[in-house]
Chain A
Amino acid sequence: MMTIEAENLTKRFGDFIAVDSISFGVERGEIFGFLGANGAGKSTAMRMLCGLLTPTSGRAKVAGFDVYTQSEQIKRNIGYMSQKFSLYGDLTVGENIKFWGGLYGLSYSEIRARKSEIMDVLGMGSLENSFVNSLPLGWKQKLSFSISIIHNPQIVFLDEPTGGVDPLVRRKFWEMIFDASRRGITVFVTTHYLDEAEYCDRVSVMVDGKIRAMGSPSELKRKFSQEKMEGVFKVLARTAKRKSD
């Protein structure tokens, strides 16, 4: 079953085509890596899929809902996490969980249950009353991810979730992603760490608003005769004509 379907999805800003007729599908439980250089159009595409930006043309369905007419239902059925925006630093760990749980419409008893589950899984029991600002970045990221799937969404969108995080924490973070995908949550993720692209079931590489390559990491490495995804990415990114501005 497809949880994301996009067909000729396009976004123009004036005469600038940020996303140029992209088509792809993501299956339930799949980890889909959405790669591209800064300025390739990833964020714009992601905002359309999250129901935050109306496309100029094309079609897309996310979690079974139409991006033009059902953006509210989309927002309720997806999780979202980015490095730039995640948790409220001046609320405690417990308060953040309550706040986000409430926002996603969970009942008090559900929130309580999910809270103790999250604290257990992360081994953060003693930190419930700590301000999020006082946590190291790695902990914040793991907490932020747990909260982004607190309502058990069909899909979670992760926008550079491991930016600036050290190698040990990155690996722990990806183990959480694998677990979520095993539970049937579809994972749509962007990253600049190309070893992480190897962990995805499939990846796409965007260049100048278009999807230039798509497939499993091993297919792409074979196709471009590269040993690592890093090589595939560099070959494609160097063909960019658009100025990263």
Chain B
Amino acid sequence: MLNNIITVSGVSKFYAGASGRVPALVDVSFDVPQGCIFGLIGPDGAGKTTTFRIIATLMLPDCGEVTVSGLSAKRDYREIRRFIGYMPGRFSLYQDLSVQENLEFFARIFGVKIGDNLGLIEGIYSQLEPFKNRLAGRLSGGMKQKLALCCALIHCPRLLLLDEPTTGVDPVSRQELWEILGAMRSKGISVLVSTPYMDEAMNCDKMAFISKGKILKTGSPQNIIDSFPQQVYRVRGPDAFRLLKFLRGLPCVRSAYSFGDSCHVCVKSTSDIGDVKRLLARDVGPGIKVEEFSASLEDCFIRLAQNDDN
């Protein structure tokens, strides 16, 4: 059995822009192990959708190789298309067909019946059933996503490609979707998923940070957190925005960002935190708490995105 369901090696892709060729992907390489949930995490315009389109055999790279289940994405695209399920970021179903018609359409394209893989989609399908005669374009955001997922799973694919499936979806529905992805994994389906939510990235077995067309880091979420180079301090006090501005203004502060009701701060050298505490006490007042805090994936992302900006 193959170890990797997807291999991407040395892939570059350029688009024609007003001022010449614009790089979308630059020498991108990563492998997705069989049977795992792999997260592609990166800011807007990082190249996530281009990566998905190349793996889904909808676009050819300018150079480099992609294999899906050992087959060449360039040569064997017909065969690959048979066993992948792809859910693009933009809602891509037929808005003027009903829920049921969309499902039937996708089933027929893949030469299956809706009932064939009911075991796989049952949980989602039962939620859609009350609305099966409604036009897809008139569903709420959460339900549209469920229908799109159902259509992508209808032929029981070996690999599920989900490009930002939870953007605009409320926290309860997001959690439900991740429970579904966990169930898919336990049925042996490999999943490649992109998301801007860091709490979701934590659910992946492995992930890659991508920015400006380049892979900045790959590993398990825990590996990535463990490699955060600095101590993070959590600073809490009333008027968080004023606190943030004050911290940013201190020369010994390397970075300060708001995290819910507190600020996460990194200092330039370890000894500086004493100065920060002293200045907070002197200029902002008592009642400001400073404590050591372990970095989150979101801290890692911000650090990488920021380094990339400079």
A47 touches B (CB below 8 Å): no
22 A-B pairs within 8 Å (CB atoms) are namely A37-B170, A37-B171, A37-B173, A38-B140, A38-B169, A137-B45, A138-B44, A160-B168, A164-B44, A164-B164, A164-B167, A166-B42, A166-B44, A168-B302, A168-B305, A195-B259, A230-B171, A237-B171, A243-B130, A244-B173, A245-B130, A245-B143
A194 touches B (CB below 8 Å): yes
Which residues of A (170-228) have their CB < 8 Å from a CB of B?
171, 174-175, 178, 192-195, 198-199, 217-218, 228
Question: Apart from A166-B196, A167-B305, what are 6 other A-B pairs with CB-CB below 8 Å?
Answer: A37-B171, A164-B44, A164-B167, A166-B43, A166-B44, A243-B130
B92 touches A (CB below 8 Å): no
B237 touches A (CB below 8 Å): no
Other-chain residue from A38, A83, A164, A165 in contact with B142 (beta carbon distance below 8 A): A38
A207 CB to nearest B CB, Å: 11
Enumerate chain B interface residues (CB-CB to A < 8 A). 17-18, 42-45, 130-131, 134, 139-143, 164, 167-175, 196-198, 240-241, 244, 257-261, 298, 301-302, 305-306
Check if B44 sits within 8 Å of A165, measured CB to CB: yes
Q: A138 — which chain B residues lie within 8 A by C-beta?
A: 43-45
B201 CB to nearest A CB, Å: 10
A169 touches B (CB below 8 Å): yes
Counting contact residues on chain A (CB < 8 A from B), the size range is 35 or more
B232 CB to nearest A CB, Å: 14
Other-chain residue from B139, B170, B301 in contact with A192 (beta carbon distance below 8 A): B170
Enumerate chain A interface residues (CB-CB to B < 8 A). 36-39, 83, 134, 136-138, 160, 163-169, 171, 174-175, 178, 192-195, 198-199, 217-218, 228-230, 233-234, 237-238, 243-245
Check if A38 sits within 8 Å of B170, measured CB to CB: yes
Q: B257 — which chain A residues lie within 8 A by C-beta?
A: 171
Which residue of the partner chain A has the closest CB to B146? A244
Q: Please indicate which of the listed interface residues A167, A171, A198 has the most CB atoms of chain B within 10 Å of its own CB.
A: A167
The complex places the Cα of A130 from the Cα of B260 at a distance, in Å, of 35
